Amino acid sequence: MLNIQRLGLSINGQTLLDDVSFTVEPGETLCIVGESGSGKTSLLKSIQGLMPAYFEGISFQGDRQAEIRQKGQWRGPIGMPGSRWVMQDPIAALNPKIPLGQSISESLYRRSMPKMDVDAAVRQALLDVELNPDVATRLPSEVSMGQAQRACLARALIANPSLILFDEPLSALDAVVQKQIAATMKRIQLKYEIMYLIVTHDLGFASAYADQVMVLKNGKVEANQTAADFFHDPASPYCRDLVLAARALGSLSGPAIPSSYERGADV
């Protein structure tokens, strides 16, 4: 379980995040939506200790390091152990000079493992993300965007995390690949019971895969509801506008245009 209490972040006197609290249950997905500049990515960075955020409390899976950070500013090494981060642009997130397998196994750096075990783990992670294990020897420039994002997912997965943060994981991909990778993400979540914290612009995706939806606006939590509630009974006029706008654009299932994602499909 991940529990964040009253997270705040201000840089140069400008408040980027204010009083953000939420809880993610094991095996559940929290989608964070909001317009550009609402602090979505800053929130992910704060959780990873990359930004000087303040916490009233943060607890994560009984992890000792996180408990030390009970109160006050995040100090010490960056990165929350037991969690991994999948970024928006898979090509930028992979070193162009080293093969995918090596990038993936880097995730195991903190554990000293014999090379054979590492290779086996890389192979298993690639199979989990539905890639041919042969791509381990390829460079990022030799695979498609979708394959690269799957490799990034494998890099997160190989560390056996209980939480994966996604920063718009699908927005660099075309619609068909988006759908396939979204389905893979769901399968992995069901298999390993991983918590997902997904920043997204795509309410259609959120409606299909989120258990909980949190709306950020100007660094504040505008709404934090279960997905069912959010899409049928939005908590505020702003959320209502968001849902209506998405419905009008056709990315949400409505009577006129079907959603590109269907709940429970492909799993």
Partner 1 sequence: MTSIETGHDHLQPQSKPSRTTINRRFKRSTLLMPLAVAAIWCSALMLTPYDPNATNFLLRLSPPSSEHWFGTDQLGRDVATRVLYGGLWSIGLALVITSVGAVIGTIIGLTAGHFGRAADVVLMRVSDSFFAFPELIAAVTIAGLLGPSTSNMVFALIAVSWMKYARLVRSLSVSISNKDYVLQARLNGLPPALILSRHILPNVLPNLLVLWTNGWSRSILSISGLSFLGFGVQPPNAEWGAMLLDGKTYMQTAPHLMIFPGLAILFAVLAINLTGDRLRDRLDGR
118/159 Cα distance (integer angstroms): 11
Site for partner 1 in 79-138 (CB under 8 A): 79, 84-85, 87, 89, 92-98, 103, 106-107, 109-110, 127, 130-135, 138
Provide, rounded to whole angstroms, the least separation between the CB of residue 147 and partner 1. Answer: 7
36/144 Cα distance (integer angstroms): 27
Q: φ and ψ at 130, to 5 degrees?
A: 60, 45
User: Angle at Cα 155 formed by Cα 143 and Cα 48, nearest 5°?
Assistant: 125
Nearer to partner 1, 89 or 211 (CB): 89
If you search the block for the tokens 């968001």, which residue do you land on?
242
Query: Nearest Cα to 196, choosing from 162, 220, 227?
Result: 162
Provide, rounded to whole angstroms, the least separation between the CB of residue 235 and partner 1. Answer: 33
Which tokens is 254 given?
Answer: 């409505």
Of the candidate spans 16-24, 53-61, 73-81, 253-261, the one that interacts with partner 1 by CB under 8 A turns out to be: 73-81
| Interface characters, 22-51, with partner 1 (x: CB under 8 A) | --------------------------x-x-
Which tokens is 175 given?
Answer: 């619609």
**Rule CB under 8 A: which residues touch partner 1?**
48, 50, 77-79, 84-85, 87, 89, 92-98, 103, 106-107, 109-110, 127, 130-135, 138-139, 141-144, 146-147, 150, 155, 159, 177, 180
